[in-house]
């Protein structure tokens, strides 16, 4: 595949990432501005198995140098789930214990999750051996969105420079949301209709509670509640492709 780039912009990363996820093994990037080389190097950590194999005056070639083993899909998926769970749990604990200095580290953890997300999408597109590829892609996408939400909370608290105290009702809401994520994680590995029903009922209860909290909490906590209300919907939506599978 070949990309022509006129100037640095966000479309470069989108083009490269989409080709990577699609399963393309070699991408030539043509450009006029050499500063784009810096951007390309910045993207490489997310492209598992890819390296810059050639670089000229106005182009770079990035290429797959790693053979995909479809048998590793399950172990990578397990890591993907666990990192997402860790991000959720550690965000809650850092907020509960006022360890706001750890938020930047958690944002970095979300970058690790992104790397696995990209790789899993690539494996699905490259290997017909993966069962239920469309449903799996929907699940993987939702897990990536969920991790983004916890990252947004960490970024928000970091930007406030510790000038916030999370109240118990809001902490409880995050804790309850994380429990529903645990249910989805369990649901993926051991399908059970009762677990599915519990996920649905918990989602309704948490959203209802969150809407009530918006009327009573400190102004700085409102954004966190909005994010978590969106997160619980995404967690619920992650259970939908599992039902399908």
Give residue-wise pLDDT tens across range 215-243.
999 999 999 999 999 999 999 999 999 98
pLDDT score, position 129: 67
Spatial separation of the C-alpha atoms in residues 54 and 51, rounded to whole Å = 9
Asked if pLDDT for residue 17 goes beyond 70, the answer is yes
Q: Supply 200's token pair.
A: 């649905």
pLDDT (0 to 100) of residue 125: 85
Strand pairing report for 59-64 and 26-31: antiparallel
Residue 143 has pLDDT above 90, yes or no: yes
Paired tokens of 15: 């083009």
Q: What proportion of the chain, given as a percentage, has pLDDT over 90?
A: 69
Average pLDDT over residues 77-92: 96
DSSP-assigned states of every residue in 184-218:
HHHHHHS--HHHHHHHHHHHHHHHHHHHHHTTTS-
Question: Any residues with CB less than 8 A from the CB of 24 and at least 6 apart, and which?
Answer: 1
pLDDT band at 245 (very low <50, low <70, confident <90, very high): confident
- The answer to whether 178 touches 208, Cβ cutoff 8 Å, is no
Q: What is the mean pLDDT of residues 182-206?
A: 95
The pLDDT of 180-197, averaged and rounded, is: 94
Mean pLDDT is lowest, of 7-16, 140-149, 157-166, 181-190, for 7-16
Entry pTM: 0.89
Tokens of 132: 């239920």
CA atoms of 217 and 224, how far apart (whole Å): 10
Residue 162: band (very low, low, confident or very high) from pLDDT cuts 50, 70, 90: confident
C-alpha angle 181/187/192, rounded to 5°?
A: 135
Would you state the structure tokens that stand for residue 39, as one six-digit string? 């951007």
> What is the average pLDDT value for the chain, to the nearest integer?
91
The closest of 52, 33, 27, 31 to 42, measured between CA atoms, is: 52
CA 186-231-163 angle, to 5 degrees, is: 120
pLDDT tens-digit series, residues 99-123: 888 888 999 999 999 999 999 999 8
Query: What pLDDT was estimated at residue 9?
Result: 65
Per-residue pLDDT tens digits for 38-79? 888 999 999 999 999 999 888 999 999 988 777 788 899 999
pLDDT value at residue 8? 58
């Amino acid at each position: 595949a070949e990309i022509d780039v006129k100037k640095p912009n966000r479309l470069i990363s989108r083009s490269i990432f989409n080709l990577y996820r699609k399963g393309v093994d070699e991408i030539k990037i043509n450009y006029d501005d050499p500063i784009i080389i810096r951007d390309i190097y910045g993207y490489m950590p997310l492209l598992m198995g890819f390296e810059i194999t050639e670089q000229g005056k106005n182009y770079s070639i990035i290429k797959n140098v790693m053979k995909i083993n479809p048998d590793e899909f399950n172990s990578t998926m397990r890591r993907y789930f666990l990192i997402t769970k860790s991000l959720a749990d550690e965000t809650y604990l850092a907020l509960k214990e006022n360890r706001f200095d750890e938020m930047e580290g958690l944002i970095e953890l979300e970058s690790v999750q992104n790397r696995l997300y990209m790789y899993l999408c690539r494996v699905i597109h490259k290997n017909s051996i993966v069962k239920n590829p469309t449903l799996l892609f929907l699940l993987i996408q939702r897990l990536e969105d969920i991790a983004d939400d916890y990252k947004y909370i960490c970024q928000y608290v970091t930007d406030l420079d510790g000038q916030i105290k999370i109240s118990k009702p809001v902490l409880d809401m995050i804790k309850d949301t994380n429990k529903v994520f645990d249910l989805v994680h369990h649901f993926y590995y051991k399908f059970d209709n009762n677990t599915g029903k519990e996920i649905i009922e918990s989602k309704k209860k948490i959203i209802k509670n969150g809407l009530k909290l918006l009327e009573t909490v400190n102004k700085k906590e409102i954004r966190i509640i909005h994010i978590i209300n969106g997160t619980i919907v995404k967690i619920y939506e992650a259970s939908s492709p599992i039902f399908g599978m």
